[in-house]
Structure 1
């Protein structure tokens, strides 16, 4: 039985992806401030849920750094942010289809005692 990412993380990923795709349009500056906060928190939550998957941690770590509201990264031109927003939105959508590997537990079956002719008592 495979376990998937929890529904809460999936919901956060969908919300972040939607907001990132919406950021391609011309929006007020307050929207982009809110976008930074929500995407930063969403990336951190995904990082904490996938700690053992190094590639995803690195990818969402970069997203968290780019959208960091505490020490913001300014690229000054919207043309630079549009591909970043689209790629980040796609990555948030990809996490929906990602399944965490589960620990494979080996089922221990009881061993059968071998019976030999010499062991029988007559």
Structure 2
């Protein structure tokens, strides 16, 4: 439960930062954005693991685009705006869509077998 709350709050934080990035900010903001979104994408990938491959693939792409170690520069703000919006929406979808729950097997206690000789008349 605690990790689910951490995932939700990280996803919401990343989404807000990405939506705010649509406006013009100093370069320091975008460096900060790259770092936070990269960490958020890694956290989402780790939390989803092998459950949902399309989601993991989407966040691998986000992690590559927002990688602060080897940054990808597109140089034109108009290219980054749709990437920021789509990435923010993906983070919100992960945060608020219902995650599939593992089906818990209910342990049904089998009734002991009764024999006619065991009955009291």
* TM-score of the two chains, using structure 1 as the length reference: 0.85
Deviation at 1:26, TM superposition (A): 0.7
- More relative contact order, 1 or 2 (CA 8 Å, 6+ apart): 1
Taking the TM superposition and a 5 Å limit, the aligned residue runs for 1:14-53 are 14-52=12-50, 53=52
Deviation at 1:56, TM superposition (A): 1.4
Cα distance in structure 1, aligned partners of 2:28 and 2:10: 20
TM-align CA RMSD: 2.1
Deviation at 1:54, TM superposition (A): 1.4
Cα distance in structure 2, aligned partners of 1:13 and 1:115: 56
Higher mean displacement: 62-71 or 52-61: 52-61
Q: Deviations over 1:24-70 (max 9, x none)?
A: 00111111111100100010011111102212111111100000011
* TM-score of the two chains, using structure 2 as the length reference: 0.86
Cα distance in structure 2, aligned partners of 1:31 and 1:57: 26
Please list every run of 5 or more consecutive structure 1 residues that lacks an aligned counterpart in the other structure: none
Q: Which SS does the other structure have where 2:17 is aligned?
A: helix
Please list every run of 5 or more consecutive structure 2 residues that lacks an aligned counterpart in the other structure: none
1:103 is the counterpart of 2:102: yes
**Number of equivalent positions:** 118
Contact kept in structure 2, 1:20 and 1:89, CA below 8 Å? yes
Match of 2:68 in 1: 69
Residues 20 and 93 of structure 1, relative CA distance in 2, 3 Å threshold = same
Match of 2:87 in 1: 88
Cα distance in structure 2, aligned partners of 1:89 and 1:5: 20
